[in-house]
Amino acid sequence: MYCPFCGIAVENKDGTCPNCGSKINSLVQNNNKSKKKNKMPIILLALIVLIAGGGFGFFVLANGNGNGKEDNTERPPDELPPDIFFNENGIPAFIDGSFADITIQTQDDALESLEQIKDLMKIGDVSEEFRVLSKEKSEGITYYRLQQRHKGIDVYGQQLIVSVDEDGVILSLSGEYIPDIDTDVAAKTLAL
């Protein structure tokens, strides 16, 4: 297992990163909060070290472990954590990389992949909130377009796109989702 913040291999039993001290098991649940907390100090530290220490400080930060020792642990591409980009409401708008441990061969598989990130996306019930709108293939990549729904009605402009390669391995997720919609959809008669 690798720490999604600093990339160091975590081999201890309690799941604590030896480099940054993050609890790996709790990172999945608190990914949004933790990333926001950890980005600023790293950027600030890099700026201070570059200004004060010149090139040597950059080498220490660039090798990834911050202790001046080179990390020779090569991580296989399939074990890299995905990059997650959040919108202004804290909902992922783009996930670059595989976010689920299933291969996608059918439209039902595309919906099932959302089950593994429903807490991160703040989705209540995937089967009630999404339907597969289309499946398109272009240059070896298949795109599953998932339409958000609220009480059986499509939510305008709110779609997620799951991209997979020829083997069904997830490449990315992009699009817009609005959690916790609270709107009455019953038809009403207006008196004129």
Q: Smallest Cα–Cα separation from 127: which of 139, 118, 137, 136? A: 118
The beta strands (E) that lie in the chain are given as: 83-86, 92-96, 130-138, 141-150, 153-164, 170-175
Which one is predicted more confidently, 48 or 63? 48
> Residue 82 gets which letter from DSSP?
P
Average pLDDT, the chain: 75
Amino acid at 86: F
| Strand segments (E) across 12-72 | none
pLDDT in tens, 60-113: 334 444 444 444 455 455 567 889 998 888 889 999 999 999 999 999 999 999
Distance CA 59, CA 106 (A): 46
More confident residue, 23 or 44: 23
Q: Count CB atoms within 10 A of the CB of residue 67.
A: 12
CB–CB of 163/113 below 8 Å?
no
pLDDT at 186: 76
Could you give the C-alpha distances from 123 to 8, 48, 56, 94, in angstroms and in order? 31, 40, 46, 15
